[in-house]
Structure 1
């Protein structure tokens, strides 16, 4: 079972999906089938739920709305048996892609590939108004995480191909425009030396009295 929450505040223009597993076994599946747009939260040096927020493709995890960061941190603290009872709890967060899982690790245990990509947020105390607001949006589901991951990868692949095709078309259009500009510059005076223009400027076809035009 996976719990889903919705974070929506006036300060950001869309709602965000926050989710977590019911127990450590489900956390294993979330670790395994996460997305590169997911951001992972956990209480630092304490047992807690693995909390994720799902971002949009291209959205930076390092510039989250402050309210969203607070919601995720408060929800993580509230879902830590020991951390929920304490003040001044530290919550760590990092992109899902930075999680490292090895065969020797216990169920639900993870490490990090790059410590530089791990951030920390200090939670002085539990804010019941935030936790209660999020709990009111909680929905329990039994998703097929593996199939969702397959569908997501197909979508990303199709999107990547579409972006590549659009980029190739733009590059070709720019190359054609540059080629045309270069050709136009090189042949800018071609018309001046055409047979028709040369004939118009030649004195040989004029009558003997052509000089009278200047009198």
Structure 2
């Protein structure tokens, strides 16, 4: 069984969850997500509490009010820590949790101690603990089925993102092509754009009217009589 809580220290609210016992803790260690952050009382037995990071928050920049909510919940779920003041809560990304076969059930260590941060809780604040307890929901979780569905969702998300990038690249290429064509004089006046150049016009040489000499004989268009020197005659007429 997994216990889920909602913290209103952020907007939108943040999801917090923990295992009901050490056996469930083993499942959470195995199936946690890369955006989960693990919380525990330092050097004391306590519940393993997880924060599922919203997309806009990084594990090393969790808002103080949210850290206090988590610290109070962890402290309240530690038999010994709940009775003490000035309790230290440690937290680290889920990916930094190290689990080997020789460890006891529910026990963990870290791959990198430098990725472990601390928050100090002076005393229990019942107002905070009670607010969180009112949001508690207990669920039976099929971790393997959730993992498979999560991988499918991630695959669909990656495919959608790839298609988005591809379409954006095609649109950019189309835009560049249009801009290039707009700058091209040849393309601007191409037949594809509906432009048809006028065919060259050859002016016909005017045809002269027939001319006749005084004898009624037709002379050529040069103005001379047949066999003459091409000169005009006083007897020519139109």
Cα distance in 2 for partners of 1:140, 1:21 equals 10
> Residue 28 of structure 1 corresponds to which residue in structure 2?
26
For the aligned residue pairs, the C-alpha RMSD in angstroms reads: 2.7
Cα distance in 2 for partners of 1:111, 1:176 equals 54
> Residue 7 of structure 1 corresponds to which residue in structure 2?
7
Cα distance in 2 for partners of 1:152, 1:73 equals 28
User: Gapped runs of 5+ residues in structure 1?
Assistant: 200-204, 206-215
Cα 1:195/1:21, change in 2 over 3 Å:
closer
Cα 1:180/1:105, change in 2 over 3 Å:
farther
Alignment of 1:148-187 (within 5 A): 148-185=146-183, 187=184
Pick which of 56-65 and 71-80 moved more. Answer: 56-65
The partner residue of 2:71 within 70, 73, 80 is: 73
SS at match of 2:105: coil
Output one character per residue of 1:139-185: Cα deviation in whole Å (capped at 9) or x when no partner.
22221122112211211221121112112222332233334434544
Higher relative contact order (CA 8 A, sep 6+): 1
Cα distance in 2 for partners of 1:30, 1:123 equals 25
Cα distance in 2 for partners of 1:83, 1:58 equals 31
- CA-CA distance at 1:189 after TM superposition: 7.6
> Residue 111 of structure 1 corresponds to which residue in structure 2?
109
Cα 1:102/1:66, change in 2 over 3 Å:
same
Cα 1:2/1:72, change in 2 over 3 Å:
same
SS at match of 1:92: strand
Cα distance in 2 for partners of 1:59, 1:189 equals 55
User: Gapped runs of 5+ residues in structure 2?
Assistant: 190-194, 204-238
Aligned length: 198
Cα distance in 2 for partners of 1:191, 1:33 equals 62
- CA-CA distance at 1:97 after TM superposition: 2.1
SS at match of 1:116: helix
> Residue 140 of structure 1 corresponds to which residue in structure 2?
138
Cα 1:165/1:112, change in 2 over 3 Å:
farther
Output one character per residue of 1:13-45: Cα deviation in whole Å (capped at 9) or x when no partner.
222221111111110001111112222111122
Contact 2:181 2:188 in 1 (8 A): no
**Which structure has more helix as a fraction of its residues?**
1
> Residue 54 of structure 1 corresponds to which residue in structure 2?
52
Cα 1:175/1:58, change in 2 over 3 Å:
farther
Cα 1:68/1:58, change in 2 over 3 Å:
closer
Contact 1:35 1:149 in 2 (8 A): no
> Residue 61 of structure 2 corresponds to which residue in structure 1?
63
